[in-house]
Amino acid sequence: MTRIEHAFHTGTGKALIPFLMAGDPTFDLSLDLFRAVLAAGADVVEIGIPYSDPLADGPVIQAAAVRALSAGFRLPKAFELAEELRRHTDKALVLFTYVNPLLQYTPERFFRDAKSAGVDGVIVPDLPFEESEAVRATADRFGLALIPLVAPTSDEERVAAICASARGFVYCVSSLGVTGERARFSERLEELVAAARRHASVPVAVGFGVGTPEQARHIASFADGVIVGSAFIRKLEEQLRSAEPNADDPSQRAINTLHRFAASLAEAIHAVPESAGTGANADKGVGER
């Protein structure tokens, strides 16, 4: 069993997947933040690789990328960070990058270095499905999951095609637009997850916009995993901005704050019964975790 598979087979079979930006605001603090959310109950972590033109990201995650790049973070250091995390955890590590830096680095070198660092999967949000075959073949050769995304605009035929070649898990985008916390999600979200579950042999997780334990619990009632990103980074920003004379170290406050938030999300998600949301897909084994 792979580490990603294991993440969806433990406890209730519902996985918390936090996203943080590598190198934000520094390499060392970001490493501590990843460790904090893992210790608090995260089942998988997404390691964001800073990029100067992140088309899928909203202002909160864009700002995180700018901070990391301004501090000198570059793509190869993402492998160093993953390697450091791997020394202390058996949980799944997933890199999140855009297609331009992946191609510039070359897929061969990228997946080789990722595998060497102990990474389990990679998400490339702007890699079109129609152009993904060669990249997926390279990832397969190194034993890494190229995790696909499906959007609310995808019809059943496209969802079926994407899910047929899915590795790791399917990433369902909750709403149109860029990342960022939302009060409401697409009215098609549950329908989209159900469609993905009908056609995928891997778990189905939802991301984009989840910001509270209540939202996470709701999504876990019909999906296998919940991805949370902007809410973590916004809390980090708040702690870094709120430094006052003679106050506690803002870095330690940030670590403690993200640990508590991850723990609250994990408690909400892991309280949802495994049978929740299995629906028609249970007989295909996706719900049997």
Catalytic residue annotation: 46, 57
Amino acid at 222: F
DSSP alpha helices (H): ranges in the chain? 3-7, 27-39, 59-70, 75-86, 99-105, 107-117, 133-141, 156-164, 189-199, 213-220, 230-241, 250-270
CA distance 51 to 150: 22
Which residues, including other chains, have CB under 8 Å from residue 184's CB and lie 6 or more apart?
Answer: 175
Question: Rounded distance, CA 230 to CA 211, Å?
Answer: 7
**Gap between the Cα atoms of 5 and 23, Å rounded:** 27
- How many angstroms separate the CA atoms of 21 and 234, rounded? 12
Token pair in block for residue 20: 């943080």
**Residue 62 CB neighbour total at 10 angstroms:** 21
Q: Give the span between the Cα atoms of 129 and 125, in whole angstroms.
A: 10
Reduced to 3 states (helix: H, G, I; strand: E, B; else coil), residue 106 is coil
CA distances from 101 to 51, 239, 242, 287 (A): 8, 30, 34, 35
Count CB atoms within 10 A of the CB of residue 270: 18
CA nearest 61: which of 98, 96, 28, 21? 21
**13 within 8 A of 274, measured Cβ to Cβ:** yes
